[in-house]
A and B are shown apart, each in its own frame.
Chain A
């Protein structure tokens, strides 16, 4: 459904992505692992054009696009089929929880207000926030804010959801709740890419795991192959190091 070939990105002489290929089928849950600075987040941001790729071909829903030259209109259309969950939530601070969810539906997709409201309520209930419809972001905990952000992402029923380290900014005791929500989305069959440091999440919820290092993809295989039959010493060392820290 979504395919990227030869994705490259350089920031001021620093080549962060050195040609990344990625293929996502419907219902795939791809966990992206790798050390800090490996280019995971940049890759994800390029996938939703928050950063403009220097090179790369994107095939989405059957149409192929040259990423550096895609027009704003095409990008806006593509974004209406995707959703993005940020590490720092980025809820609209001047809107209530439910307005955060309806905003993209009524304004960007011109959905009737009543229908948007109904969808938003369903999405907020799905992430376990039925009592918080009218709360402002500053009245919610980090975990609750991130769940509103997830509700905002799923309300439009996107073809693919991008998660950028969705639990990295949370207090330890709030991480579990958010991961549970993301896991249940995976079980529903939603297509997602999750950049994360949560190894156990990748192990339990992902169908595939991609490992990045130094702007390249070192591995892209099933979660079972990645964790149980890992042959690359670089990745074994990474996994050992993380598991020791836990």
Chain B
């Protein structure tokens, strides 16, 4: 490798990494937190069978899962201004990511709640608890253990999906890398470097997932299969 290339890599690494810390990770975490709130509400509406709200939830999940994330970003950022609704790029990205991931996580949570045996609900009723008490204290803690790995999966996917926000002018990691690559013409090196930085972030989240699962296993008495 020549000296110029090494210098470009050394200079660009902190710049790209910094955009990751400043934009990509906060964008991921805020969007994901909102997605979990949306998912929780949608899952509960379906599980508790709230008749008049359920069709809206199914419709929302149908639309979101049936259309590409990139198209959703364009629709909100470039499309809504035609109706006079202009949103700044970053809030717009948060909104689209939260709504998008919310639909997927809603299904994850619904499945996890439905996997808790019916007997848990019946036992709760029989000791005199209300539906909401049983949900909060018995069913959801068990469902959360089941949902944790797939939800972690979604979170890790989202770290990478935020690179799409570059398309709507959000100055995140990938956009930073594109700019440096455009200036230096070192595409292979720059995008390989960017991929490596995404890998670093995702590795951290993967480690956190492992730790979280261990913690949850001790809390729920360790029901995992061991070879």
In-complex Cβ contact of B127 among A88, A93, A152 (8 A): A152
If A93-B142, A93-B220, A139-B221 touch, whether A108 touches B128 (CB-CB below 8 Å) is: yes
Contact check, A79 vs B125: say whether CB atoms are below 8 A apart.
Answer: yes
Chain A 198-241: CB-based contact to B (< 8 A → 1; otherwise 0): 00000000000000000000000000000000000000000000
Residue B71 CB within 8 A of the other chain? no
Cα distance A124–B42 when bound, in Å? 40
Contacts of A107 in B (CB 8 A): 129, 133, 137
Contacts of B114 in A (CB 8 A): none
In-complex Cβ contact of B221 among A50, A83, A93 (8 A): A93
Contact check, A50 vs B125: say whether CB atoms are below 8 A apart.
Answer: yes
Contact check, A88 vs B119: say whether CB atoms are below 8 A apart.
Answer: yes
Cα distance A113–B222 when bound, in Å? 26
Contact check, B120 vs A90: say whether CB atoms are below 8 A apart.
Answer: yes
Q: Which of A31-49 contact B (CB under 8 A)?
A: 48-49
A60–chain B nearest beta-carbon distance, Å: 15
Contact check, A86 vs B122: say whether CB atoms are below 8 A apart.
Answer: yes
In-complex Cβ contact of B128 among A86, A95, A156 (8 A): A156
Contact check, B128 vs A80: say whether CB atoms are below 8 A apart.
Answer: yes
B186–chain A nearest beta-carbon distance, Å: 53
If A50-B122, A86-B122 touch, whether A92 touches B138 (CB-CB below 8 Å) is: yes
Chain B 96-135: CB-based contact to A (< 8 A → 1; otherwise 0): 0000000000000000000001011011111111100100
By the criterion of a CB under 8 Å from any partner CB, how many residues of chain B are at the interface? 23
Residue B67 CB within 8 A of the other chain? no
If A88-B119, A136-B221, A137-B221 touch, whether A94 touches B141 (CB-CB below 8 Å) is: yes
Cα distance A90–B126 when bound, in Å? 11
Contact check, A83 vs B127: say whether CB atoms are below 8 A apart.
Answer: yes
Cα distance A138–B119 when bound, in Å? 15
Residue B223 CB within 8 A of the other chain? yes
Contact check, A76 vs B137: say whether CB atoms are below 8 A apart.
Answer: no
Cα distance A225–B195 when bound, in Å? 83
Cα distance A152–B123 when bound, in Å? 10
Contacts of A109 in B (CB 8 A): 128
Residue A19 CB within 8 A of the other chain? no
If A86-B122, A90-B122, A108-B133 touch, whether A156 touches B127 (CB-CB below 8 Å) is: yes
Interface size class of A (residues with CB under 8 A): 20 to 34
Contact check, B129 vs A50: say whether CB atoms are below 8 A apart.
Answer: no
Contacts of A108 in B (CB 8 A): 127-130, 133
Contacts of A139 in B (CB 8 A): 221
Cα distance A95–B142 when bound, in Å? 10
Q: Give A149's nearest chain B residue, CB to CB.
A: B123
Q: Give A109's nearest chain B residue, CB to CB.
A: B128
A149–chain B nearest beta-carbon distance, Å: 8
Q: Give A87's nearest chain B residue, CB to CB.
A: B119
Q: Which of A92-139 contact B (CB under 8 A)?
A: 92-95, 103-104, 107-109, 136-139
Q: Which of B43-69 contact A (CB under 8 A)?
A: none
Cα distance A93–B137 when bound, in Å? 11
Contacts of A95 in B (CB 8 A): 138
In-complex Cβ contact of B119 among A49, A90, A104, A136 (8 A): A90
Contacts of A76 in B (CB 8 A): 128, 130
B112–chain A nearest beta-carbon distance, Å: 13
Cα distance A88–B120 when bound, in Å? 11
Residue A20 CB within 8 A of the other chain? no
In-complex Cβ contact of B220 among A79, A82, A91, A94 (8 A): A94
If A93-B221, A103-B137, A137-B221 touch, whether A86 touches B119 (CB-CB below 8 Å) is: yes
Cα distance A33–B130 when bound, in Å? 32
Q: Give B136's nearest chain A residue, CB to CB.
A: A107
A21–chain B nearest beta-carbon distance, Å: 23
Across the A-B interface, the 10 shortest Cβ-Cβ residue pairs: A104-B127, A136-B221, A108-B128, A90-B119, A84-B126, A90-B123, A80-B128, A108-B129, A94-B141, A79-B128
Report A's interface with B, CB cutoff 8 A: 48-50, 76, 79-80, 82-84, 86, 88, 90-95, 103-104, 107-109, 136-139, 152, 156
Pairs A–B under 8 Å by Cβ, sample size 16 = A50-B125, A80-B128, A82-B126, A84-B123, A84-B126, A88-B119, A90-B122, A92-B124, A93-B142, A94-B141, A94-B145, A103-B137, A104-B128, A109-B128, A138-B222, A139-B221
Report B's interface with A, CB cutoff 8 A: 117, 119-120, 122-130, 133, 137-138, 141-142, 145, 219-223
